[in-house]
Chains A and B, each alone.
Chain A
Amino acid sequence: MSSFEPKIIGFLCNWCSYEGADSCGRARKEYPSNFVVIRVMCSGRIDPQFILEAFKDGADGVMILGCHPGDCHYKEGNFNALRRYTLLKKMLKQFGIEEDRVKLDWVSASEGDKFVRVVSEMVEKVRVMGPLMLIQKKQLKNHREHRGNL
C-alpha cells in the first residue's frame, strides 16, 4: 500500500457550500483532512487562474462547490462556474491533468452529509490516481535543468 495522501483544494461559495461544510462541522461529522477549504463569495468568482495556481502549488485535485442551480445568491454565478468548468476540464486534459482531478458539485447549506460524501469520494478517487507529477517537479526544483544529449 502506498502512503500517498492527496491534497485537495476546495473552493466553496460563502452562501451555500461553506454553510454546508459548517453544518457538517457543527454536527461533529468527520471528513478527510486532505481537503483544504478556501471560501469565496460565489462559485462564479472562481477564476480559472485560481485552479491553475492550485495545481501549480501542489494540489492533486481541486473541487468547486457552489449553490444548486437556481439558488446562487448572485443568480447566475454558478452557471458561469459550470460553463468554465466544462471548458477547463477539457483543456486541462491537454496539460496532462486528468479530468477527475477537477470536480464541480452543488452543496446547499443543509447538505452536510452530501458535503462529507462528495469530499470523501474525491479524496479516494485522487488517492487512487496518485500524485500529480507537478509535485515531483517541485521537489526537483533546485535540480539544474537537464539539457544536452538525449
Chain B
Amino acid sequence: MSKPKIALYWCASCGGCEESVVDLAEDILQVAEAVDIVFWPVALDFKYEDIEKMADGEITATLINGAIRLDNQEHAAKLLRKKSRLIIAHGSCAHLGGVVGLANFYERRDILNRAYKEVPTVKNPQGILPEIKTKESGRELNLSGFHKTVKTLDQVIEVDYYLPGCPPTPELIKNAILAILNDELPPKGSVLAEKKALCNTCSRRESKPDKVRIKEFKRLYEIQWDATRCFLDQGIICFGPATRGGCEERCIKANMPCRGCFGPTDNVRDQGAKFLSALASIIDSKDEKELEKIADSIPDPAGLFYRYSLASSILRGKIGTV
C-alpha cells in the first residue's frame, strides 16, 4: 500500500510556521517515514504542475500556513483544496489572519505607498509601484495581484481543521499528523489544541486572585516584576483569560504576557471583543473620568486586542478598507 500523501504550503506568513515543522526535530524522520511529502516549496523541489497532475482528493492532508493576500496564494489554496482530502489551517495567520492581518487597518494604496515610496531605506525616485503587468524592453512581466484585504484561509476555501499558534508547537503538529494517520480526528472544524483558556493551565494561575482589580495598566519595563506572579495581578495586560490554551506557555515561561496567538476558545466569535470585555471587567473604577484615563493608558487598543485575529473578526478591519 502506498503511504498517505502530505503537502505543505505557505501563503502570507513569516516563515515561522515552516520552522515549526522543522522543529519537529527527530520526530520529523518518523513522520517522513510514515508519509510521502508530495509538495513543500520551502524544502523540496516540486512544482505546481506536479500538484495539478494529481487526482482530486489524492493528497491525504495539506497544511497551509499564512493568510491570503495575493492572487497566487488564493490560486494555490484552491488547487490544494481540490487535491486534498483534508485542509489544515496551520498557524495564526491561516487560522485568524495573524499579525499580517493587521494590515486590514490600512488601505491597500497606503500600504503600497509606504512600502515602495515612503520607507526611509527605499530609493524609488520615479515612484514606481508594482503592477500586475509591466512592459519592459518589449517583454511582459507578470506579478501576482495584491488583494484589497488580508483574508483568513477559511474565508477563501473550506478548512477542515485548525492548528493554532504563532507558530503552533511541534507537539501539536505531531499530534495532528498522528491523528490524521490513525484516523482519530475530532469533529470537522475543530481547533486542534486545548479547549479551555490558557489561565486554566498556566503555571502562574495559583497567584491569580479570584477577582483581579487594577487601577493602572503597566508595561513590563515599568515595574519590578515578579516572574512567578500572575501578570494581570501585577497590572500587566495578559490575554490568558480569553485565549485558547495548548501553547505550552512559551511566552509566560519567558516572562512575557500572553498576546492571544492561539485565538479564542470555542464559543467566542470575536477574540478582540472578548479581550476587551475581560480587561474592562478588572478595571477598578466606577468613575467616568478615571475610566477614560485608564483607557488612555492603552495606546493602541485595537492593535492590541486584535493582534492575531483582525482578519477573522466581526468587522474584519477598518471601515472603508474591507
Complex Cα spacing A82 to B148, Å: 35
State whether B281 touches A86 (Cβ < 8 A).
no
Question: Residue among A47, A49, A97 with the most chain B CB within 10 A?
Answer: A49
**Once the chains are docked, how many angstroms separate the CA of A147 from the CA of B274?**
32
Contact of B315 with A91 in the complex, beta carbons under 8 Å: no
Q: Out of B108, B270, B274, B276, which one reaches A87, CB within 8 Å? A: B276
A29 at the binding interface (Cβ < 8 Å): no
- With the chains together, A145 CA to B148 CA distance in Å? 7
The answer to whether A83 and B302 have CB atoms under 8 Å apart is no
By the criterion CB–CB under 8 Å, are B286 and A88 in contact? no
B:128-183 near A, CB below 8 Å: 129, 131-132, 145-149
Complex interface bits, A137-150 against B, C-beta within 8 A gives 1, otherwise 0 = 10000000111111
Option from B145, B296, B301, B302 in Cβ contact (under 8 Å) with A147: B145
Interface residues on A, range: 20 to 34
CB of A125 closer than 8 Å to a CB of B: no
Which secondary structure dominates where chain A touches chain B?
helix
Contact of B132 among A49, A88, A134, A148 (CB under 8 A): A148
Q: Are A47 and B292 in contact (CB under 8 A)?
A: no
Determine whether B56 belongs to the interface, using a CB cutoff of 8 Å to chain A. Answer: no
Residues of B within 8 A of A137 (CB): 319, 322
User: Could you tell me if B295 and A86 are in contact, using CB atoms closer than 8 angstroms?
Assistant: yes
Chain B nearest CB from A150 CB (Å) reads 6
B286 touches A87 (CB 8 A): no
Q: Which of A52, A90, A145, A149 makes the CB contact (< 8 A) with B314?
A: A52
Q: Closest B-chain residue to A104, C-beta based?
A: B288
Q: How many B residues touch the partner, as a band?
A: 35 or more
Residue numbers in B under 8 Å from A83 (CB-CB): 280-281, 283, 285, 291
Interface bits A40-66 vs B (CB < 8 Å: 1, else 0): 000000011100110110000000000
Q: Does B300 contact A (CB under 8 A)?
A: yes
Q: How far in angstroms is the closest Cβ of chain A from B306?
A: 9
A129 interface contact, C-beta 8 A: no
Chain B, residue nearest A86 (CB): B291
Q: Which residues of chain B are within 8 angstroms of A79 by Cβ–Cβ distance? A: 286
B74 to chain A, nearest CB (A): 9
- Contact at A147–B277, with CB atoms within 8 Å? no
Q: Is the CB of A69 within 8 A of B286?
A: yes
Q: A55 and B315 in contact (CB under 8 A), knowing A49-B273, A91-B305?
A: yes
Contact A150 B276 (CB under 8 A): no
Decide yes or no whether B215 CB sits under 8 A from chain A: no
Q: Which of B308-322 contact A (CB under 8 A)?
A: 313-315, 317-320, 322
Q: Which of A120-143 contact B (CB under 8 A)?
A: 132-134, 137
* Beta-carbon contact of A49 and B305 below 8 Å: no
Residue numbers in A under 8 Å from B294 (CB-CB)? 86
B288 contact from A49, A80, A82, A149, Cβ within 8 A: A82
Minimum C-beta distance from B120 to chain A (A): 22
Say whether, besides A79-B286, A132-B319, A147-B146, A94 and B302 are in contact (CB < 8 Å).
Answer: yes
Give the residues in chain A near B318, CB-CB below 8 Å.
Answer: 94-96
User: Cβ of B145: which chain A residues have Cβ within 8 Å of it?
Assistant: 147-148
Instruction: Give the most central of A86, A88, A132, A134: most B CB within 10 Å.
Output: A86
- Whether a CB of chain B sits under 8 angstroms from the CB of A84 is yes
A52 surroundings in chain B (CB, below 8 A): 270, 273, 313-315
User: Given the interface contacts A86-B291, A95-B318, does A149 sit within 8 Å of B279 by beta carbon?
Assistant: no
- Beyond A49-B268, A69-B286, 10 extra complex contacts between A and B, CB < 8 Å: A48-B276, A55-B315, A83-B285, A86-B280, A94-B300, A147-B145, A147-B146, A147-B148, A148-B132, A150-B129
A-B CB contact pairs (8 Å), 9 listed:
A48-B274, A48-B277, A49-B270, A49-B314, A83-B283, A83-B291, A91-B276, A95-B302, A147-B145
Identify the 9 closest CB pairs spanning chains A and B, nearest first: A94-B302, A96-B319, A83-B280, A48-B273, A52-B314, A84-B280, A91-B301, A86-B291, A147-B145
